[in-house]
Each structure stands twice: as structure tokens, then as C-alpha cells.
Structure 1
Amino acid sequence: MSGTQSSRPAPVGPRGGPFGGAGAPATKANNFGPSAKRLLGTLRSETPRLIVVLVFSILSVTLSVIGPKLLGEGTNVVFAGFLSLQMPEGATKQQVVDQLAASGNQDQANMVAAMDFVPGAGVDFDQLARILALVLAVYVFSSIFGWLQARILNGVVQRSMHRLRLQVEDKVHRLPLSYFDRVQRGELLSRVTNDVDNIGQTMQQTLSQVVISLLTVIGVLTMMFIISPLLAVIALVTIPLTILITVLVARRSQKLFVQQWKTTGVLNARVEETFSGHSIVKVFGHQKEVESDFRTENEELYRNSFGAQFLSGVIMPAMMFIGNLVYVAIAVVGGLQVAAGLLSIGDVQAFIQYSRQFTQPLSQLGSMANLLQSGVASAERVFELLDEEEQTRDDDPAETAPDEASRLEFEDVSFRYVADKPLIDGLTLAARPGSTVAIVGPTGAGKTTLVNLIMRFYDVDSGSITLDGVDTRHMTREDLRARTGMVLQDTWLFSGTIRENIAYGRPEASEEEIVAAATAAYVDRFVHALPDGYDTLLDDEATSLSVGERQLITIARAFLADPRILILDEATSSVDTRTELLIQRAMSRLREDRTAFVIAHRLSTIRDADLILVMENGAIVEQGSHNELLAAKGAYWRLYNAQFEGAAEDEDLVSVPTVPLAAPPTTAQIVVEALAESEDAVE
């Protein structure tokens, strides 16, 4: 689109307040399972890398699980060595066992019988060194595989979030204007930024940990059953308790996490609109009301966040408590089994380590419930955006109008924003090439809606709008809007230089064309007073420029675009009277052989329009030239008299003559002629 910004209709819902309202987003259902499944579906294209991650995770966990068993063997070597020093050298192991049994020390006899040693030989340091070297290698390779899987998984998550952001960005551009009319900007920004970032952080922190924790539980449980089925059964008591606690807490915290992110969106909307309208807040003395609303919403966010984090934070201490109980049970029962000769000291040591390894991933899985709840809550909000109904697709193949097409016709057009509230009914009009059609009427009459229909921000409910006989609904929106330039009362400039903001109308324009357009719109007059001229950087609010100067830049942007259809919605309302006169002179050249639609409240600015349409309640109640409508003494006459208090008959008001050209003027011609007439006007 060649225009500066989109036009928006009057709100159709409850949007009170000085900034268009701060209604809360619609309540969302908590649907954890399907949302979590859909979130995992975003990783589908990364399946090969995920398989590699899984393989590395299995290798890392397997090696880390083997470690305690090997350390237990080392402990057995040390213990057996020291025990052998207590035995008479030269005796056999069986002799020592029989002697202990004969003396009534059956428990010691059983324990010694379960050990492998040579009486009097001492510690076998060679065997101990081999075991420790093997343990070192096991843990080193376990760490390497763990690092590799974490690195690959990090790339998987970041690429997935990159794709998700692209999907959200593409979706925003496919949404109809009606979506932006009913959703606050702060709420939309919160979904696009905060919620997507939260999803990425959740996946980054939980995916790897979940895989590692589950594999660790399986591996450790296997080793525990190999060492002692009895102790393994005792350890298994933690699983149902862990599941029970996690489910009970998650059920209560999920709603709070959803509410937390919804409240974050509401608070962001409040901050965004307050900062955008900061001067209005000051002028009308609403600081206390704004501060009160902020405190209320901030307090609600605090309560939701605190409740969600507190409930989810209960899981980890509960898991640790259960783990400690199991640890005590294993230590007692394991000690009894060692005394009975059913287990070695090393096996008990390994089992105690495994019990810690077993309860730790369970605790981690429980503590990750808060992250998962928060991430899935954000995912639901993002998926809700992605599932919004899109604008209708362009025809494929689409029709196209001639390059010089600029004749617009409305044929029995009807439209309404709300099904049961008619706005425009049976509208018929024709705007011929080179003509200027002015649209006037009271607020809410449908003037801006007419522009929305021309630009296909909305499609008509019935009837048709044609461009040189081609129904605009059968053209692509890009094609239609590329032929159209729009300048609105509310200026829109982006962060960048003045040159870049003007070139937004035609990025491939040369420096000479940019300067020519700026000169035609009288931007060149004030640019040279700025420190960096055309390279002056503007923020998104362009606070370094006056409202009128910002408006002139948007007009220069439309000049540079050189459109076939020009839409001006109170485009000169923010400039002084003399500058307005000069801009009108330049625009009169720009409008030659082009169709221009001018929405105006200051009726003096549209006296020379070829056709003036007077709209009331979505219908054209009068049409004609300025003099014809005054003579009719109808709706236009009433508007004119109300504005000028009886000055309607004053024929001495400044009129802006137009000079017909043989062919559509270039921007350079516009500049030369506008400057020449501006000098005459000054004189």
C-alpha cells in the first residue's frame, strides 16, 4: 500500500476511556493436554535432530547410571582390603568364615562370605586404580554426551521459536482490520512478544530436563532392581506420591498461570495506552485515575503470579521430604541386608546414591510443573491468535485493471460492521479520472467507512466497487493498494531517518525524487533547519517534530508514491492556514488525471471539489458542487452555516484554481509549479 496508515472505523464494542478502551481479553478455557501436544508439534520438522538428542541423552544417562555401581565396586575393594588385614595371613577365606561361625558371629560370617578378599593381602591398589580410571572415563563421556545433546536441543528450540515468530508475524498481516478494531494493541504485543518468549524459555528449560529425568528414572530403577529388588520396591513408593502431589498442585496452579499471562496482557495494554497518551492524561488531570487503574491491575497480576508460583513451588520441598523418608528406609533396610550377608557394603553405597538419583529427577519433574503450566498457558494465547479467522483470500488468478485506471464506481453498495446495525445501504456514485470527490457529513455518517471499502480493508456486503470496470474484490489487495495513496489526520512515522520515512512510499526512489517530493510537500523548508537534515533520526512518535511537520512528511510520502487514486482524510488539519493553501496548490497538480477522495470537516478546503457528497447515516443525502449545494439550502448548507455562522454567502474566500495539464505531471513538475505559485502567494 502506498498510503501512510490504515483507516479504522468507529469501535463496535464497549471501548470506553480516552484511548479507545481497555477491555479485558476474552476468557480462555484451560486445555493443557491438546495445547501441550500442539506445542510439541511445532518441533516436528526437527525430528532428525531430536533423534540425535535422544541418542546422546541415552548414552549420557547410561554412563551416569553405571558410575555409582563402579564406585560401589571400588568401595568393596577398599573395605575388603582393610578387612583382610584383620585376618591371619596364610589362612583361607573359608577358614575365616568357619571360625567366625563357630564363635557365634554368624552375621559377621555371612558378611565376610559375601566379600572377595585374601586374608592378610591388604588393599589391591592396582584394581582400585583401574576402577577409578574407569569411573573417571564414564563421567567424562557422560558429560560430553550431555553437553552435545543440550547444544543440539538449544538449536532445535531456537529454530522452532524462530518459525513460530514468523508464523505469528505472517498471521498478523493476514488478519482483517476488524481484529485490530476489537483487540488492544498492548494485548496483541503481549502475545507476540511476552508469550512467545515465555514459550521459548519453557521449552529450553524443560525439554532437555524432562528427557534426562525420565531416562534417569528408568536407568536408575533398572540398576536398583539388579542390586536389590526389596530396596527397589521401597524406592518405588515415591512414584505414586510424586504423581499425586504434582496432579493436585498442577490442577490448582494451571488456572492461575493462565490468568497471570492474561493479566500481563491487560497491564501491558494499560501501560502502552497511557504512555502513548501521556500528554492527554496530563492535560485532563487523570494521573490519579491512571495510577489507580495501574495499581489495581498490577495488584491482580501480583496475586495471580504469587499464587501460581507459590503453589508450584510447593512441589519441590514435598518431593525432597518424600526422598528423605525413602533415604532413611533404604539405609536401615540396606544395613540389615549387609549384616545378613545379602548385600555388600559397596552395593548399599551404590543403592543409596541411586536413591538420590531416583528421587532427584522425580523432584525435578514435579518442580517443572510450574514452568510447563506457564509455558502452555502462553502457548494457548499464541495459538488463539494463530487460529483467528483471516481475511478472505485474493482470487487466484486475480483480475487486474489497466495501469492508468482511476475511475471508481460504487454500485448499490451496502455494508455494516455489525450484522443487525446497517451503516451503508444502496450507495451508488461514480468518480471519474482527474476528479476530486469530497465527502462531508457529521461524525459517524460513514465517511471513513467509505475509504475502508475503497482500500478493501473491509469487503462490501452487497453491491460492488469497480476500478475501470474491474470489481476490486477480484483484484489482489496488493495490486489495489499499490495504486492508492493515503494521507490521514493521524500521522504515522516509524523509527528511522526523515529520508527513509518519505521513501516508504516508494523505496526504490532516487535521492532527487525524494527531495522533489519533500519540496512539493514543503518538507524541504524545515528539514534544513535540523542538525542532520534528511538524515535526522526520528523515534516512532517523532517527538522532535511538530504535529504539522509530521503531517507534511506523510504528505511527501504520498507525493513520492505517485498514486492513481489519492485519499486525503483531513490531511491538512494540523498545518497552518498559509501552509495549507500552498499544499493545496501542489495537491491540485498531483490530482490531475487522478481520482482523489477528500474527507473534510473544514468545508472551506473543498470548495473547488468537482463533486461533494454529503453523507448522513451511511447514505448520500446530497451531491453536487459547492455552489449547487449552497443554493439548494439542504444538509450541506446547514453544515456550512453552522461552521461559518452565516458566512456562506461570502464569495471573497480564497479559492484554489487548478490549471489543467495535457498529461499527468511528474513530481519534478509539481515542485517547480508549486514553488512558483508559492512565491506569488507570498507576494
Structure 2
Amino acid sequence: MTLFKVLAYAKGFKRQAMWASTCSVVNKLFDIAPEILIGIAIDVVIQQEDSFVAQLGIVEPKNQLFLLGLLTFLIWLGESVFQFLYLKNWRELAQKIQHRFRVDSYSHIQNMDMAFFEDQSSGRLTAILNDDVNQLERFLDVGANDILQVLTSVVAVGSVFFILSPKLALLAFTPIPLIIFGAFFFQRKAEPLYTKVRSMAGKLAAAINTNITGIATIKSYTKEQHERQRIHAISDQYVQANQAAIKVSAAFTPVIRMAILMGFLATFVIGGLDTLNGNLAVGAYGVLVFLTQRLLWPFKNLAVTMDLYERGMASARRILNLLNQPITIRSSDHDKRIQLSGEIQFNQVQFTYPNQAKPAVDAINIHIQAGQTVALVGQTGSGKSTLIKLLMRYYRADQGNLCLDGHEINTIHLNALRSQIGLVSQTTFLFNDSIFANIHYGNPDADEQAVYRAAQQAEAHGFINQLKDGYNTPVGEQGTKLSGGQVQRIALARALLKNPPILVLDEATSAVDNETEAAIQKSLLTIGRDRTVIVIAHRLSTVVNADCIYVMDQGHIIESGSHTELLEKKGRYQSLWAIQTGQIKSPE
């Protein structure tokens, strides 16, 4: 059951949960007590020296009323104190469990395999981490206390009823089974509806997130009205899903009210007749009439509680489903934490992406000596970036093996592996922070001078100093305040600050101008010293100085050698070189 799985998250907060529950119970007992005192006060006024209080030794009616007044004050004070305590503790507990769910969910997401993210939208995942976790928190904040207090009312008031009049107790309790049956009936009706509500909430969040991210494309194609209509349609579907759930939830309240009326009328009429016939004391009759409301009226809020419960459980199911997603590529305590020198060897490596029939790379054999600079070139989709994803262990090869320094890659601890590979990809991501912070992210232990040196190596120091705020300049979300070339140079500086034994440049100079590319190409001679460098490039001018160039086509290596050797072979590389240098025209 979803609720039990949620409660399992509260095990670390068992003491606070018990204390919050105790405060809720005591508060409800104090809340019920004034009705009992009213009945006793009526008994004092009518019976005076023969009242229930007089039997305790206080004979004077005035003193009896003063005593009841003092008890009323203390009870109201106690109720207020314990209301503060249960509100404080339940809300703190809800916040802590919410925090744990959010952090655990986020931690699980960022450890998921890369294949997982190919089928997920960032908006849906954001909706789970924010909206669903918040919805669960609202139930824990309010609903848990409401359920406890209803149970306390049933037990405490029921005890008083059975002491004063077992017959009226049976009559007053008659509607409760109907109320409970109705609650479960509506709960079954509402469950799929609220599941759909949460699903639509995720779809809406995903659509909005996608549009905000792609706002430049929307504007460039003048699709503002089209996207407004699309978001309007999705939002309308979300509203309709909510309305269907609300309709079921709202129907519950009238049913509860009628059940409450049945119990109240039974106590009111039959108890009144018993009092007129002398079978029930007037004070006891007053207590039972008032307590009937205390017994049954809280069930009126059961509709709201059930609504919170269903929304919370629908959100919890989405969170728990996310947490139950398996992680295939992960490290164990037995994995090696080794210092790499940079030797890389692909041995008959084959890999096919999920849901694709044709291998992305097939029978790949590459041996890169430590300290070498090698290049991977070829048309888009030839498999170049796939080899890097296998090297980063984003995916696991289907056949063959990939070794680093003679160690099979799957035996190396993920943190040890990835911390020693500096990756600069074509789709560079910068955090919404300063330039300095984005470069420093590569090595938080580095000092300022190391950051500046890395920027100089990446040919970024010059343009950074020309900015008004220099290294303190904010880059904007995903680097929107900078040009594409500036973003790539900052990303390159970040990777260089990491000082990895293996540096991978995946189209890292695709967005820079020719002058900057030439400067970076020159600096590669320094950058590549004492480290292995893998360069993926469409511009062949970037890789002419590589020790070895591998030409790929449809997942296979069709040529390899130095720039000079490949030109002499007059194969695919020579054709690409001729096209890019203008010696021959590109085929139409």
C-alpha cells in the first residue's frame, strides 16, 4: 500500500512522529472536554446540591460553577498549547519527509543511466521533484492529523456515550459504517482520477519547460500564438481532469452531512424522550447532544481529508515509481579506484542504442597510447560520439571490451573514471552563475591563478577581461548572455582546470571563429602535453596535427593514419579534405 511505503520514510523521525501524534490526540481530548463540562454545568444548575459535582464534595452551587469555570479555562489553555505543538510538529515532520523524498528522488535521477533520460522530459521530472513532493507534503501536514483526531473522537466520545447511554451510543454510531463505506467507495472512484490529474500536471510542466527553453526558436518562427493555443489545450485538459476528480470529491460531503444528521436526530429525539420519561438525566442529555456533534461533525472534513489523501498518494506513486527505476550502470565497493595514465583500447566493441535495430558502432578496434592526440572524423551519425559515451560509461558495450590502462572499464569505479576524463561537448552547458564559478566548477580546490591559466589555455582570458565585470560576469541560464564560441571556450577552460589525464573535445571548436580556432589548435600542443587527447571534429583543419586520425562511417572505422598518410591513401579522408579546402565542390 502506498501509504505504508510513505510512512516507511518517516522511520528516521519516529520519535517526532510519535510526539506529534500524541499532541494531536491530547488536543482532541481537550477539544471534546468543554461539551462534557457544559452538560455538567446544566446538571449543576438543575440539581444544585444533588449534582454530580456535589458528590465530589463541593456542595455550594456557586463554588461548583467556579470550579467548572476554572476547569474550562485550563482545558482551553491545554487545547491551545497542544494545538500549537501538533501543528508545529506535524509541519516540521512533513517538511523533513518532503525534504528526504526530494533529495532521494533527485539523487536517484542523477544516478540513472543516460538511456533513462532519452525517454524522459525534464519538465516531467521537475514536476515530480517539485509539484508531487509538495502535494505529498500537504497531505502529511494536514491529513495525517485529521485522521488521528477523527479516530480519537470516535474512541473518546464513544466511551462517554456507552457510559451514559448504551442505547443512544448504538444509535449515534449507526451512521459511522455508512460514512466509512462512503469514504472507501469515493476513494476507489477518485484514485484513477487523481492519478490522471498528476499525469496531466507533469505533461503541462514539461510543455511549459520545453517552450521556455526553446523561446528563441518560437520567436524566430513567430509561433507565439500557436504555442499559446497548445499550452491552452494542455492546461484545459489538466483543468478537466481536476474537475472530474473534484466532482467525485464534492459529492462526498452531502453524503456525510446526511449521515451526520441521522445520528444527531437519533440522539436529539430519542435522548430527549428518555429524559422526559426520567430515564436519562438532563445534564447527561446535554452532554450527549453536544458530543454527537463532536463525534460526527469531524467526519464532514473527511471529504477534504480524502481529497488530500488521494492527491498525496497519486503524487507518492509517481515519486515511488521514479525511485524504483533500476540503475544498470553503477559502481560497487569492489570497483577499482586507480590513477589513469591515459591508455585506451577498444577491442571489437559493438553497441546498439535501445529501440534501434542497427548498431551505432560495430567491431571497433582502437588502441590509443597514453599521451597521444587522436582524432575521430566522419559524417554525422557515423558513431564518433557513441565511442565517447562508451568511454564515459554512459552506456555499456554490447560486445567486446573497452580497457583503460589495461583495466576493463566496467571494473573501474565510476567516480574514479569520470573524474579523470575532461569532456567538452558540442552541446555545452553552463550554470546560471558567474564565468569564474563556471570555470572553477572543474576543480573546486583550484586557486584563482589556476582558473586564469585555464582560461588562457582555452583562449578565453582575453574576451573575459573585456567584459564589464570580467570573471564576475553572469553567464545567464545555459550561457544565454554569451556567444556560442565564448560558451565553448569557458567549457574548455573548465575541463582544463580539472587537469585530467584524458581530455575529450567533442566538436569543442564548432562554434568559434577561424581566428580563435587557430589559437586553440595551437594551444592544443600545450594542452595535449602529458595527457591523452581525443578530438572529434567536422573541420579537418582542427586535427591535422593529431598523432592518428580515425575515419568513421556507419559505425565502422574505414581508414586510420596521420593526416599525411590519409591524404596519400586518396580515400574518404582525402575526399573530405579536398571538399573542405575548396579543391573540389561538395556533391549536390
Give TM-score, length-normalised by structure 2.
0.93
Distance (whole Å) between structure 1 residues aligned to residue 320 and residue 96 of structure 2 = 18
Which of structures 1 and 2 has the larger relative contact order (alpha carbons within 8 angstroms, sep 6+)?
1
1:14-56 deviation digits (Å, cap 9, x = unpaired): xxxxxxxxxxxxxxxxxxxx11221111112222333333333
| 1:473-552 → structure 2 map (5 Å cutoff) | 473-552=410-489
* Ranges in structure 1 where 5+ consecutive residues have no aligned partner: 1-33, 85-92, 94-113, 650-683
Check if 1:451 corresponds to 2:388: yes
Letter of the aligned partner of 1:214 in structure 2?
L
Counterpart for residue 571 of structure 1 = 508
Counterpart for residue 153 of structure 1 = 90
Counterpart for residue 304 of structure 2 = 367
Counterpart for residue 41 of structure 2 = 74
Counterpart for residue 24 of structure 2 = 57
Distance (whole Å) between structure 2 residues aligned to residue 609 and residue 356 of structure 1 = 86
Equivalent position SS for 1:427: strand
Q: Which range moved further: 387-396 or 458-467?
A: 387-396
Quick check: 1:78–1:123 contact (8 Å CA) kept in 2?
Answer: no
| 1:333-348 → structure 2 map (5 Å cutoff) | 333-348=270-285
Distance (whole Å) between structure 1 residues aligned to residue 531 and residue 585 of structure 2 = 29
1:473-493 deviation digits (Å, cap 9, x = unpaired): 211111111221111112211
Distance (whole Å) between structure 2 residues aligned to residue 55 and residue 555 of structure 1 = 58
Letter of the aligned partner of 1:336 in structure 2?
L
Distance (whole Å) between structure 1 residues aligned to residue 193 and residue 179 of structure 2 = 21
Counterpart for residue 138 of structure 2 = 201
1:254-306 deviation digits (Å, cap 9, x = unpaired): 11111111111111111111111111122233334322321221111011112
Displacement, 1:617? 1.9
Quick check: 1:217–1:361 contact (8 Å CA) kept in 2?
Answer: no
Letter of the aligned partner of 1:142 in structure 2?
E
| 1:425-464 → structure 2 map (5 Å cutoff) | 425-464=362-401
Equivalent position SS for 1:541: helix
Letter of the aligned partner of 1:56 in structure 2?
C
Distance (whole Å) between structure 2 residues aligned to residue 505 and residue 399 of structure 1 = 23
1:114-143 deviation digits (Å, cap 9, x = unpaired): 9999xxxx9922211112222222232233
Distance (whole Å) between structure 2 residues aligned to residue 558 and residue 183 of structure 1 = 27
Displacement, 1:394? 2.3
Displacement, 1:402? 4.5
| 1:230-309 → structure 2 map (5 Å cutoff) | 230-309=167-246
Counterpart for residue 415 of structure 1 = 351
Q: Which range moved further: 464-473 or 507-516?
A: 464-473
1:438-486 deviation digits (Å, cap 9, x = unpaired): 1122222111110001111112222222222122221111111122111
Letter of the aligned partner of 2:129 in structure 1?
V
Task: Pick closer, same or farther for the CA change 1:478–1:148 going to 2, 3 Å.
Answer: same
Letter of the aligned partner of 1:446 in structure 2?
G
User: Identical aligned pairs, as a percentage?
Assistant: 30
Check if 1:192 corresponds to 2:165: no
Q: Paired residues, what number?
A: 581
Quick check: 1:71–1:132 contact (8 Å CA) kept in 2?
Answer: no
Displacement, 1:389? 0.8
Equivalent position SS for 2:92: helix
Counterpart for residue 261 of structure 2 = 324
Counterpart for residue 75 of structure 2 = 138
| 1:28-39 → structure 2 map (5 Å cutoff) | 34-39=1-6
Equivalent position SS for 2:550: strand
Quick check: 2:274–2:280 contact (8 Å CA) kept in 1?
Answer: yes
Quick check: 2:330–2:414 contact (8 Å CA) kept in 1?
Answer: no
Distance (whole Å) between structure 2 residues aligned to residue 565 and residue 213 of structure 1 = 64
Counterpart for residue 40 of structure 1 = 7
Q: CA RMSD in A?
A: 2.4
Equivalent position SS for 2:479: coil
1:314-344 deviation digits (Å, cap 9, x = unpaired): 2223322332343233222222112111122
Pair member with larger Rg: 1
Quick check: 1:520–1:556 contact (8 Å CA) kept in 2?
Answer: yes
Letter of the aligned partner of 2:490 in structure 1?
I
Q: Which range moved further: 363-372 or 416-425?
A: 416-425
Letter of the aligned partner of 2:457 in structure 1?
A
Equivalent position SS for 1:537: coil
Structure with greater helix share of residues: 2
Quick check: 1:435–1:594 contact (8 Å CA) kept in 2?
Answer: yes
Counterpart for residue 390 of structure 1 = 327
Task: Pick closer, same or farther for the CA change 1:349–1:538 going to 2, 3 Å.
Answer: farther
Distance (whole Å) between structure 1 residues aligned to residue 106 and residue 130 of structure 2 = 11
Distance (whole Å) between structure 1 residues aligned to residue 7 and residue 448 of structure 2 = 50
Displacement, 1:80? 4.0
Equivalent position SS for 2:477: coil
